[in-house]
Each structure stands twice: as C-alpha cells, then as structure tokens.
Amino acid sequence: METLGSRQVYANPWMTVREDPVRRGDGSTGIYGVVDKPDYALVIPLDGERLRLVEQYRYPIKLRRWEFPQGTAPNLAAEPPSVLAARELREETGLRAGRMVELGMLDVAPGMSSQRGRVFLATDLVEGFHEREHEEQDMRSAWFPRAEFEAMIARGEITDAQSIAAYTLLLLHENSQP
C-alpha cells in the first residue's frame, strides 16, 4: 500500500489524528484515519500470588475499571520502555521494583492507531508513596490474589484488553521457565 500524503486533523498533548490518502495494490484509492499516540508501558506488579491493580474512571466508556498500571510519557515524549515502566509503576502505585523483566509487545488497535505497548513484570517490590498525575486523582490501587484477578476477568469486571493480554504474556513467560 502506498501512502499518498498525510494531513493532521486534530492534536492535543496526548494524541494526534491524521488522515492518509492511500493507493492499494490494485490501484484503487482510499483513506486511513490514524490515531497517533506515544508508545506505552504496562507493568504487572507480582508479589508471590498477588497482583497489584489500579482502578480509575475511564471517560470514553463512562465506567471505573481495574487494570494493570500503564501509561505513556507526558506531552507526547518518548522514553525508553523500561524507564517509562518504572515511572508508571511508581506514579500509580508507589511501588518500586527490584527486578523488571520485559515480557513482550502489544498493539492497542492496529486498525486505527499507531500506539504500541511493552509489557513488564515487576518483582522484588518495595512499597512507597504514589506520585499520580492530576488526571489520576481518583485512582485507587489494591492487591488481588491471582485467582480473584482471573475470576474478575471471567465476571466481566476486568475488561481492559491490554491487561488481559498482558496477563497472557505473563502466563506464557511462566510456562517457559524451567
């Protein structure tokens, strides 16, 4: 597919939206609307059989939802994924990880967004004070046994696709260990 141009149609400090006219392999033309957001990091804080989650109000779906700590750097900045992961963990939960292992990559919505995310497993955790951004002032954080986390997914209480996919990466990682 050949990109014939690009036009930014919207921008704010968190994202841009562009329209790209394209020519397909058969010669026909079309348009792609693309949401560009910086890459994000998602962190799975694991302490034995407990997982640390955060809960916040997600405006687009008008619901509060439990999920793993995750986010992007402010003002569309790019940071190394491990630095971003440590910052998100500290900001949202107050936890500091003695060990951080990258588990894999996730594409949020590749049919409409360029955003990609790296998933990290955080262990050897030390409690501290959170450093939440102003938009996260209503966020809560709590430990959950893994069995309860899985039950919350089954009951539809955890619906964040990135958190569910990240947990799958954790399970695959654990199954690959000797």
Query: What are all long-range contacts of 138-142, with beta carbons under 8 Å and residues at least 24 apart?
Result: 138/56, 138/57, 139/54, 139/55, 139/56, 139/92, 140/54, 140/55, 140/56, 141/52, 141/53, 141/54, 141/55, 141/92, 141/93, 141/94, 142/52, 142/53, 142/55
Nearest 5°: phi and psi at 24? -80, 170
CB distance 94 to 140 below 8 Å: no
Catalytic positions, please? 136
